[in-house]
Amino acid sequence: MIEVHNLSKRYGEKLAVDDVSFTVQPGIVTGFLGPNGAGKSTTMRMIAGLDRPTSGEVIVNGQDYRASKAPMAELGVLLEAKAVHTGRSARNHLLALAYTNGVSADRVDDVIDMVGLHDVAAKRAGGFSLGMGQRLGVASALLGRPRTVVLDEPANGLDPEGVMWMREMLKDLAAQGHTVFVSSHLMSEMAQTATRLVVIGRGRLIADTTVAGFVALAGGHTVIVRTSEPARLSALLAGPDITLTPEGSDALIVDGLTTHQIGTAAGAAGIPLFELANQHTSLEEAFMEMTHDAVEYHATADVAVAS
Amino acid sequence: MTTATAPAAIPVAPLARESGLRVTQVRVLRSEWVKFRSLRSTLWTMGLSVVLMIGLGAMFSAISVNSAEGMDPGNTAISTSLTGTFFAQLAVGVLGALLITGEYTTGMIRASLAVVPKRLPVLWAKLAVLAAVVFATMLVASLVAFELGQAILSSKDLGTSLSDPVAVRSVFGAALYLSAAAVTAAGIGALLRNTAASITTYVAIFFLIPTLVATIIPRSWAAHFAQYLPSNAGTGLIDGTYGLENPLSPWAGFAAMCAFAAAVVAAAAWRLHHTDA
Ligand SMILES: Nc1ncnc2c1ncn2[C@@H]1O[C@H](COP(=O)(O)OP(=O)(O)OP(=O)(O)O)[C@@H](O)[C@H]1O
Ligand SMILES: [Mg+2]
């Protein structure tokens, strides 16, 4: 379990993390989302005791990680930037990390097999592709079978098969009872992996919720209905707390009624319907909606065109 | 009444755990030994320092044998055969600095400190491995350089032998000096965290400043402090006078050099403990 209490981190002028509090529970995968520069990596480095909080504190499995007697049994981290000496082989890299806490060489070899680096374990890590580097990072995080795992964008650079592997592995870890905290920019990826979400933007906590709750929070869902008589249907459905938005010449987007209610009403009034369907706000849309104001680096859309 | 509680999934089975995990200084030492021997750059710089120690000792001995005046003033048969020390200190300095800055430039330091979050054991282990390896290797190299140098010098009856206590002190002294120099370089590396800046600073302290003091600064001023510069203080262990007005006694000089190394390492430890990785 990870408990983050009123955590802030300032780098000079820049407040990278601003009074953030949340809890990451064991037994489920918790996603950590936010646009570029939101403060995800900074928060994760503070969890791992690498950066010192300006204020606030992080408790990992009930204690201050830096005071831990067996750190590798408590927390495994995969950091954003490759944290590997380029001149050393993958196996020697893992052995060096393992020995500090008394993890055996056998366990190192097991983990190498587990992440699929068997064939390149003797090669210099400097020559690794992005995806192989991520696998090596995951291997180092799992060496001590830690109760809590923190992974910063683990899917970054993985091929589709690798992404699938990563997803299954994270779910497995959670199912075994580990605490799993994973950052990503991609809502769609998190939707398939995570049960809960912590969302930050510009260093501030935006949401701490379930995946389903997140969609509801960011806009819920609407119904699209297509008919030959949109004007009559509009008049029929209109009411308090109901929003009707015309879409093209023959469709309405209805917010506030279920497909069941709309179908029943239209049937009773004899209005023919061609289509009646729930429209789920996609996670990506919900995410963008929610973090819009907190996006640090907007693409400049309105580039002036010289005329 | 409803309460908003987080749906915490409670695991049924206990987690599979690794047994006996715990950070100890000895374990971190073993880890640093793996790191040390698994890098080509450390093996290269170690090899280079051995070659410089033996090769230059032999070369300067041969020059002394072949020149009409014999040895330069201030040099002895012992110091001539150990001339390589002054060049090997560059190689061990690079080794010491790289041992630490290599971790910062590659990002490895974060992996190292994440598994040893108390941090200082990593620094102590690095310095211990460095000092031990440099001392053991350079003691052998210094002994070989001495014997080879004396063999060359003996062709003109200039040589001496290990039956001279000063010779024994000098052979050990060269290894001790190089170990202290390497530790100082590692301390500088941990303080500055940047390879180029660290090597430049080391070269300034061990080569540039002593050379400037010996050549540009008036001797009457230099007499007050030149003997305290770490390189001048430490080389007193090796027979010879090195043009100092007021040299410290050999062991006092080495103590002064170690005090300088300790001060640099203390500053590095403070930075490691107190600042972000
Ligand atoms: N060591 C540092 N020194 C100064 N500023 C920093 C440092 N680390 C991070 N920042 C700043 O803090 C902010 C948060 O950065 P962080 O890397 O935590 O964001 P992130 O959410 O991980 O972004 P991304 O999705 O791009 O990885 C950014 O504005 C960044 O420039
Ligand atoms: Mg990041």
Query: SS3 string of B203-219?
Result: HHHHHHHHHHHHHCCCH
Q: What is the pLDDT of residue A219?
A: 60
> For A68, which residue in chain B has the nearest alpha carbon?
B117
Residue at A7 is within a domain: yes
Percent of chain B residues past pLDDT 70, beyond the cut = 94
Ligand 1, residue A38: give the atom nearest the CA: 21
Residue B92 and residue B139 in contact, taking contact as beta carbons nearer than 8 Å:
no
Residue at A236 is within a domain: yes
Q: Find the mean pLDDT for residues A197-215.
A: 88
Q: What is the pLDDT of residue B5?
A: 46
Using pLDDT thresholds of 50, 70 and 90, give the confidence band for residue A294.
low
**How confident is the model over B139-192, as pLDDT tens digits?**
999 999 999 999 999 988 888 889 899 999 999 999 999 999 999 999 999 999
Task: Spell out which residues of chain A touch residue B274, defining contact as CB-CB under 8 Å.
Answer: 52
**Which residues share a beta bridge with A255?**
A243
Task: Spell out which residues of chain B touch residue A107, defining contact as CB-CB under 8 Å.
Answer: 18
My answer on whether A42 and A190 are in the same domain is yes
Q: Find the mean pLDDT for residues A285-300.
A: 66
Q: What is the CA radius of gyration of chain B?
A: 24
Residue at A109 is within a domain: yes
My answer on whether A13 and A86 are in the same domain is yes
pLDDT for residue A133 is more than 70: yes
Using the Cβ of B48 and the Cβ atoms of chain A, whether some distance falls under 8 Å is answered with no
> Is pLDDT larger for residue B142 or for residue A222?
B142
Contact residues, A window 117-136, toward B, CB-based 8 Å cutoff:
none
- For ligand 2, the distance from its centroid to the CA atom of residue A152, given in whole angstroms, is 7
**What DSSP line would sit under chain A, residue for residue?**
-EEEEEEEEEETTEEEEEEEEEEE-TTSEEEEE--TTSSHHHHHHHHTTSS--SEEEEEETTB-GGG-SSHHHHEEEE-SS--S-TTSBHHHHHHHHHHHHT--HHHHHHHHHHTT-GGGTTSBGGG--HHHHHHHHHHHHHTT--SEEEEESTTTT--HHHHHHHHHHHHHHHHTT-EEEEEES-HHHHHHH-SEEEEEETTEEEEEEEHHHHHHHHT-EEEEEEES-HHHHHHHH--TT-EEEEETTTEEEEESS-HHHHHHHHHHHT--EEEEEEEEPPHHHHHHHHHGGG-SS-----PPPP-
Using pLDDT thresholds of 50, 70 and 90, give the confidence band for residue B6.
very low
Average pLDDT score, chain A: 89
Give the ranges where chain B is alpha helix by DSSP (H). Answer: 25-37, 40-66, 77-81, 85-106, 108-115, 120-154, 165-192, 195-203, 209-215, 219-225, 230-234, 250-274
End-of-domain residue from the set A212, A230, A249: A212
Contact residues, B window 80-119, toward A, CB-based 8 Å cutoff:
102-103, 106-118
Residue B265 and residue B183 in contact, taking contact as beta carbons nearer than 8 Å:
yes
- Amino acid of residue B245: E
End-of-domain residue from the set A212, A239, A255: A212
End-of-domain residue from the set A163, A193, A212: A212
Q: What is the pLDDT of residue A19?
A: 95
- Kind of pairing, strands A196-201 and A29-33? parallel
Residue A91 and residue B22 in contact, taking contact as beta carbons nearer than 8 Å:
no
Contact residues, A window 243-272, toward B, CB-based 8 Å cutoff:
none
Residue at A207 is within a domain: yes
Using pLDDT thresholds of 50, 70 and 90, give the confidence band for residue B2.
very low
Using pLDDT thresholds of 50, 70 and 90, give the confidence band for residue B200.
very high
Q: Is A54 in the pocket of ligand 1 (CB under 6 A)?
A: no
Q: What was the ipTM of the complex prediction?
A: 0.90
B143/B50 Cα distance (integer angstroms) = 11
Q: What is the pLDDT of residue A279?
A: 79
B268/B103 Cα distance (integer angstroms) = 15
In eight-state DSSP terms, residue B162 is: T
**How confident is the model over B38-50, as pLDDT tens digits?**
999 999 999 999 9
Q: Is A45 in the pocket of ligand 1 (CB under 6 A)?
A: no
pLDDT for residue A305 is more than 70: no
Task: Spell out which residues of chain B touch residue A73, defining contact as CB-CB under 8 Å.
Answer: 17-18, 21
Counting Cα atoms < 13 Å in the Cβ hemisphere of A117 gives 29
Residues in contact with A277: Cβ distance below 8 Å, sequence separation at least 6, in sequence order: A223, A224, A225, A259
Range of the domain at A167: 2-212
Tell the burial category of B62 from Cβ atoms under 10 Å away from its Cβ (0-12, 13-18, 19+). middle
- Kind of pairing, strands A179-184 and A29-33? parallel
Residues in contact with B11: Cβ distance below 8 Å, sequence separation at least 6, in sequence order: A26, A27, A176, A177
Counting Cα atoms < 13 Å in the Cβ hemisphere of A287 gives 22
Q: Which of A27, A68, A96 lies at the smallest CB-CB distance from B9?
A: A27
Tally of domains in chain A = 2
Using the Cβ of A144 and the Cβ atoms of chain B, whether some distance falls under 8 Å is answered with yes
CB atoms under 10 Å from CB of B31, counted, come to: 27
Token output for B104? 């910062």
Q: What is the pLDDT of residue A277?
A: 87
My answer on whether A184 and A134 are in the same domain is yes
pLDDT for residue B8 is more than 60: no
Report CB contact under 8 Å: A140, B277: no
**Test the A interface: residue of B12, B15, B17, B21 with most A CBs within 10 Å:** B21
Q: What is the pLDDT of residue A258?
A: 86
Inter-CA distances, B24 with A4, B32, B91, B132, Å: 28, 12, 31, 19
Q: Is A37 in the pocket of ligand 1 (CB under 6 A)?
A: yes
Using the Cβ of A2 and the Cβ atoms of chain B, whether some distance falls under 8 Å is answered with no
**Test the A interface: residue of B27, B38, B123, B124 with most A CBs within 10 Å:** B38
Token output for B21? 């995990």
A88-97, B15-24, B91-100, B106-115: range with lowest mean pLDDT: B15-24
Residue at A306 is within a domain: no
Contacts A–B by Cβ distance under 8 A: 161
Q: What is the pLDDT of residue B12?
A: 47
Q: Find the mean pLDDT for residues A116-129.
A: 92
Q: What is the pLDDT of residue A213?
A: 78
Closest alpha carbon to A61 in A25, A17, A100: A25
Using pLDDT thresholds of 50, 70 and 90, give the confidence band for residue B84.
very high
My answer on whether A157 and A177 are in the same domain is yes
Q: What is the pLDDT of residue A299?
A: 53
Q: Find the mean pLDDT for residues A18-35.
A: 95
Residue at A247 is within a domain: yes
My answer on whether A162 and A271 are in the same domain is no
> Is pLDDT larger for residue B15 or for residue B268?
B268
Q: Is A201 in the pocket of ligand 1 (CB under 6 A)?
A: no
A249-263, A280-294, B93-107, B132-146: range with lowest mean pLDDT: A280-294
> For A84, which residue in chain B has the nearest alpha carbon?
B108
Residue at A287 is within a domain: no
Using the Cβ of B16 and the Cβ atoms of chain A, whether some distance falls under 8 Å is answered with yes
Q: Is A38 in the pocket of ligand 1 (CB under 6 A)?
A: yes
My answer on whether A38 and A125 are in the same domain is yes
My answer on whether A228 and A111 are in the same domain is no
Percent of chain B residues past pLDDT 90, beyond the cut = 72
A78-92, A251-265, A276-290: range with lowest mean pLDDT: A276-290
Q: Find the mean pLDDT for residues B185-204.
A: 98
A186/B6 Cα distance (integer angstroms) = 23
Residue at A285 is within a domain: no
Report CB contact under 8 Å: A50, B23: no
Give the gap in angstroms from C-alpha A190 to the nearest C-alpha of chain B.
Answer: 18
A195/A177 Cα distance (integer angstroms) = 14
Closest alpha carbon to B8 in A148, A30, A183, A48: A30
Q: Find the mean pLDDT for residues A47-65.
A: 96
Q: What is the pLDDT of residue B112?
A: 97
CATH number of the domain that A264 lies in? 3.30.70
Closest alpha carbon to A152 in A76, A95, A56: A76
Q: What is the CA radius of gyration of chain A?
A: 24
B107/A125 Cα distance (integer angstroms) = 13
> Is pLDDT larger for residue B4 or for residue A192?
A192
My answer on whether A17 and A135 are in the same domain is yes
Q: What is the pLDDT of residue A220?
A: 63
**Which residues share a beta bridge with A2?**
A24, A60
Q: What crossing angle do the helices spanning A105-114 and A130-142 adopt, rounded to 10°? A: 140
My answer on whether A73 and A197 are in the same domain is yes
pLDDT for residue A94 is more than 50: yes
Q: Whose CA is nearest to atom 12 of ligand 1?
A: A16
B230/B227 Cα distance (integer angstroms) = 8
Using pLDDT thresholds of 50, 70 and 90, give the confidence band for residue B224.
confident
Sheet bearing A221-227, strands edge to edge: A243-247, A251-255, A221-227, A273-280
My answer on whether A47 and A160 are in the same domain is yes
CB atoms under 10 Å from CB of A105, counted, come to: 12
Q: What is the pTM (predicted TM-score) of this model?
A: 0.87
Report CB contact under 8 Å: A102, B24: yes
- For ligand 2, the distance from its centroid to the CA atom of residue A80, given in whole angstroms, is 6
Give the gap in angstroms from C-alpha B36 to the nearest C-alpha of chain A.
Answer: 10
pLDDT for residue B9 is more than 50: no
Q: What is the pLDDT of residue A296?
A: 58
Closest alpha carbon to A90 in B111, B195, B51, B70: B111
My answer on whether A95 and A239 are in the same domain is no
What spatial distance separates the first Cα and last Cα of chain B, rounded to whole Å? 48
My answer on whether A165 and A275 are in the same domain is no
Closest alpha carbon to A269 in A240, A227, A239: A227
B247/B233 Cα distance (integer angstroms) = 8
CATH number of the domain that A49 lies in? 3.40.50.300
A216/A213 Cα distance (integer angstroms) = 5
Q: Whose CA is nearest to atom 16 of ligand 1?
A: A39
Q: Is A300 in the pocket of ligand 1 (CB under 6 A)?
A: no
> Is pLDDT larger for residue B19 or for residue B162?
B162
